Amino acid sequence: MLIFILLAEVDKRTVGYRRRKLSIEKGTHAMLALLGTAKKAAIPAKYVLFDSWFSSPSTLHAVKRMDLDVISAFGNLTINIQNVVY
């Protein structure tokens, strides 16, 4: 409830509002939103490096759809995305 009150008091046209809104989202969604922002800003990258916390198959597919490759630790996770068409 307090979070919604804080968001209601902030001018929605500011960068601060967008950052606060992003901070209450799930980590994987925030990471994908930040990657999209970096892509729009034309920041050159071929790879995304992150730890096993973000290494779910859906996250890997979402990053791959952005035309980026992933370098990550997987732990006990088994993933095969070699034959997926993007």
Higher pLDDT, 72 or 43: 43
For the CA atoms of 42, 44, 47, 49, the dihedral, rounded to the nearest 10 degrees, stands at -80
Q: Please report how the helices 27-40 and 57-65 are oriented relative to each other, as an axis angle in degrees rounded to 10.
A: 10
pLDDT of residue 76: 63
Residue pLDDT, tens place only, 7-64: 566 677 887 777 777 777 787 888 888 899 999 999 998 888 887 777 778 888 899 9
Q: Find the DSSP H helices in 27-79.
A: 27-40, 57-65
